[in-house]
Amino acid sequence: MEKFDTSLSHLKEYIKYRSGSEDILLSDVNSQFIGDFDFYLKTVRKCQHNSSLKHLKNLKKIIRIALANDWIKKDPFYGIQFKQEETNVEFLSQEELETVIHKEFSLPRLAQVRDIFTFCCFTGLAFIDVQQLTPAHLIKDNNGAIWIRKNRQKICVIFLFYPLLEN
């Protein structure tokens, strides 16, 4: 349910924004509501297209449950298609990464953020995956090298990451 928390929060805010009330009837969720929610996410909440789609897909999952239980008779998502946009990810150069690594901070909290960020850069783990790391995810191979074995939050597969460096 964790992945629905943000979507639920945005939906609650939108319902209050739209109607001034805390909730609405399921039967009030129609294609107009969905289109307006998408517009709200992109304008008021400043979500990018793919983030907005994620929230709409989460709402669609709830609507599917409502349909399966006969809580509503008509699918408000009927005829609505989701198309993700390709994103162009810009990577840090080696020089930029070195600058981040060697940046000194007076606040320990900022130094910790820097360390977690660089750890993410070197392992390819997302921040949420690093947050969830425990000693149980660290495994030692026959040569004594330590590896990370972890299910990824986003795509739900197990990844083995290269042995961790000594430093």
Domain boundaries, given as residue ranges, for the chain: 2-68, 93-123, 132-167
Which backbone phi and psi does 150 adopt, to 5 degrees? -150, 135
pLDDT reported for residue 164: 54
pLDDT reported for residue 36: 95
pLDDT reported for residue 155: 57
pLDDT along the chain (167 residues), means of 10: 82 94 91 95 94 95 95 94 87 94 96 94 88 90 85 61 54
Report the distance separating Cα 116 and Cα 135, nearest Å.
Answer: 16
pLDDT reported for residue 154: 62
CA-to-CA dists, residue 147 to 62, 112, 115, angstroms = 38, 22, 18
Angle at 33 between CA 51 and CA 7, to 5 degrees: 35
